[in-house]
Amino acid sequence: MGSEKQKYSDVYDCVIIGAGVIGAAAARTLSRYRLRLLLLERENDVGLITSAANSAIVHSGYDPTPGSLKAKMNVAGNRLFPEFCRQLDVDLKMIGSLTLATDDDQIPVIEELAVRAAQNGVPVEILSRDAVLRREPNLTPEVRCALFAPTAGIVNPFELTAALAENAVQNGVALRLNEEVTRIAPHPDGGYAVTTDRGVYRTLAVINAAGLHADTLANNALAELGKPADYEIRPRKGEYFVLDHFDPEFLHHTIFTVPTEKGKGILVSPTTHGNYLVGPSAEFTDRKDDFATTDETLAQVLASAQKLVPSIPTRQIIRQFAGLRAVEKRGEFVIDRPAPGLVNLLGIQSPGLTACFAIAEKAAALLREDLPLEENPDFNPVCPPRVRLHRMAPDERAKFVAEHPSYGRIVCRCEDVSEGEIVDAIRRPSGATTVDGVKKRTRPGFGKCQGGFCQPQVVKILARELGRKPEEIPLKSPGTEILLEKIGGADGG
């Protein structure tokens, strides 16, 4: 940035690096206290990396090794989900999960998982073949038995991170997007100097929630403090298929294979908005930006999923994507305070989404010695409710539209999203500024046409709301503008 570099004189109590679900949850939790907080994110929106590309399951916690941090955070996080999602108005459905034994060899694994569940304090039940098939007639007739975990759920992960960031901002957190942290060093007068590509901030404390890149930041920060460090994150890729919403009765629970040493195995699951998700694979990759999918891996994913649900309608596949798990070499969550005022939340692979609220609480507890955690009497945990037109009964909807006409102008026909909902997603604190940001918050573009019909309308609404030209509106990151220049037409729309 050279001469554009600007020195910020701002002083904070805590700088949180990374606005994925973990950093956003940490920021929101700390905003309960009277603190000056800054949340820094290098992308142009919150929650764009791992927090946007996962299975969206609120895991019950029967699987992680008893006593591990993963197990503790999973179970504690799971318990906080219903209340916190209510506060944040985030879509959550506690539909329960079924982990299937599809051959005799897997029956002891199910029994072992039930023991582990009891050790972790997670209620489960082993269901017989008939009981499983009564619940889910589309499962393989080969099923021998299943572990039923009633406290598992599904969440809208995009909405979750956006709502956490929104609520944090509502409660006074400063959020700066498009700003990459390049250095964390001790400040000569105490605390830390956090350098970004735009300036330097002084802060008493730092939370490093930089996802896949948290290892580098932590190692460099500790080197600056003269302390040894050897954090190492290796990404493990998970590839998925998304199916259109074709039959709400196709599956009612999240269906898992038995877990393997690579992770939780393949799942087939409804999403909160009625689609179905199939995946993920689990293969290491050497690159932290390798989000490519391959036909070969997806074929393996499909074959494994068909062993659970043979009749997966492949003609309903509308999309594929990949996410990268931030696997730390110890295989465990790293939630530590290696120096006063420095907290790492790294290696937060699955079940990190489920654990986000519990991890945030733990981060705040770790900073108790470094920060004056005095309750903020103005803290408001509640996000204003979102209008979800597609959920309204016809008469309720007609009445609402009569009072709010912009909600009667449907922009996305596949997902039934109105102009009013899109405008709301843009106007909220830390609202959408890109086509992808609108899609993640309100769903236009998630359906069968993948934005083919609604994208021009979304560009137009974004331009109008943000006071920009349509050709300045990016699909995602800067440089992905959809329109190049105006070549004719009356209104440029």
Q: Does 325 bind ligand FAD (CB under 6 A)?
A: yes
Q: How far is the CB of 183 from ligand FAD (least distance, A)?
A: 9
Stretch of residues binding ligand FAD (CB under 6 A), selected from 20-28, 220-228, 406-414, 440-448: 20-28
Interacting residue with ligand FAD among 323, 420, 437, 470 (CB under 6 A): 323
Q: For residues 334-363, which are near ligand FAD according to CB under 6 A?
A: 348-354
Q: How far is the CB of 241 from ligand FAD (least distance, A)?
A: 13
Q: Does 61 bind ligand FAD (CB under 6 A)?
A: no
Interacting residue with ligand FAD among 59, 253, 397, 428 (CB under 6 A): 59
Helix, strand, coil percent values for the chain (each to nearest 5): 35, 25, 45
Q: For residues 269-288, which are near ligand FAD according to CB under 6 A?
A: 280
Nearer to ligand FAD, 351 or 447 (CB): 351
With beta carbons less than 8 A apart as the criterion, state whether 87 and 163 touch.
no
CA 404 – CA 411 distance, rounded (Å): 15
Q: Does 15 bind ligand FAD (CB under 6 A)?
A: no
Q: How far is the CB of 75 from ligand FAD (least distance, A)?
A: 12
Stretch of residues binding ligand FAD (CB under 6 A), selected from 96-104, 304-312, 321-329, 372-380: 321-329
With beta carbons less than 8 A apart as the criterion, state whether 384 and 377 touch.
no
Interacting residue with ligand FAD among 35, 40, 278, 473 (CB under 6 A): 40
With beta carbons less than 8 A apart as the criterion, state whether 259 and 266 touch.
no
For 115, residues 6+ apart whose C-beta sits below 8 A from its C-beta are none
With beta carbons less than 8 A apart as the criterion, state whether 145 and 88 touch.
no
Chain position carrying tokens 């605390």? 191
Nearer to ligand FAD, 297 or 354 (CB): 354
Q: What are phi and psi of 15, to 5 degrees?
A: -105, 125
DSSP-based three-state secondary structure for 54: coil
Nearer to ligand FAD, 150 or 408 (CB): 150
**Which burial class, exposed, middle or buried, applies to 385 when counting CB atoms under 10 A from its CB (0-12, 13-18, 19+)?**
exposed
Nearer to ligand FAD, 55 or 120 (CB): 55
CA 32 – CA 414 distance, rounded (Å): 39
In the Cβ-directed half-sphere of 297, how many Cα atoms lie within 13 Å? 21
CA 129 – CA 372 distance, rounded (Å): 55
Kindly write out the interface string for residues 219-258 of this chain, putting x where it contacts ligand FAD by CB under 6 A and - elsewhere: -------------------x--------------------
Interacting residue with ligand FAD among 15, 16, 22, 438 (CB under 6 A): 22
Q: How many residues of this chain interact with ligand FAD, rule: CB under 6 A? A: 40
- In the chain, the amino acid numbered 468 is R
DSSP assignment, residue 31? T
Interacting residue with ligand FAD among 10, 180, 336, 361 (CB under 6 A): 180
Q: How far is the CB of 102 from ligand FAD (least distance, A)?
A: 21
Longest CA–CA span in the chain (Å) reads 70
Nearer to ligand FAD, 23 or 444 (CB): 23
Q: How far is the CB of 412 from ligand FAD (least distance, A)?
A: 25
Q: For residues 205-224, which are near ligand FAD according to CB under 6 A?
A: 209-213, 217
Interacting residue with ligand FAD among 15, 37, 57, 364 (CB under 6 A): 57
Q: For residues 399-418, which are near ligand FAD according to CB under 6 A?
A: none
Interacting residue with ligand FAD among 15, 16, 17, 39 (CB under 6 A): 17
Q: Does 120 bind ligand FAD (CB under 6 A)?
A: no
CA distance from start to end of the chain: 34
Nearer to ligand FAD, 111 or 180 (CB): 180
DSSP-based three-state secondary structure for 58: strand
CA 164 – CA 142 distance, rounded (Å): 42
CA 133 – CA 127 distance, rounded (Å): 10
Q: Which residues are catalytic?
A: 59
Q: How far is the CB of 211 from ligand FAD (least distance, A)?
A: 3
Chain position carrying tokens 């005095």? 374
Nearer to ligand FAD, 170 or 354 (CB): 354
Write out the DSSP string of 316-385. Answer: GEEEEEEEEEEEETTSS-EEEEEETTEEEEE---TTHHHHHHHHHHHHHHHTTTTS---B-TT---PPPP
Q: Does 176 bind ligand FAD (CB under 6 A)?
A: no
Stretch of residues binding ligand FAD (CB under 6 A), selected from 34-42, 60-68, 119-127, 459-467: 34-42
Interacting residue with ligand FAD among 12, 14, 16, 18 (CB under 6 A): 18
Stretch of residues binding ligand FAD (CB under 6 A), selected from 168-176, 323-331, 388-396, 405-413: 323-331
Nearer to ligand FAD, 22 or 221 (CB): 22
DSSP-based three-state secondary structure for 416: coil
With beta carbons less than 8 A apart as the criterion, state whether 435 and 475 touch.
yes
Nearer to ligand FAD, 280 or 470 (CB): 280
Q: At what angle do helices 352-366 and 69-88 cross, to 10 degrees?
A: 100
Positive or negative, the CA dihedral 84, 88, 89, 91 is negative
CA 60 – CA 71 distance, rounded (Å): 10
Note the residues at the interface with ligand FAD (CB under 6 A). Answer: 17-23, 40-43, 48-51, 54-57, 59, 180-181, 209-213, 217, 238, 280, 323-325, 348-354
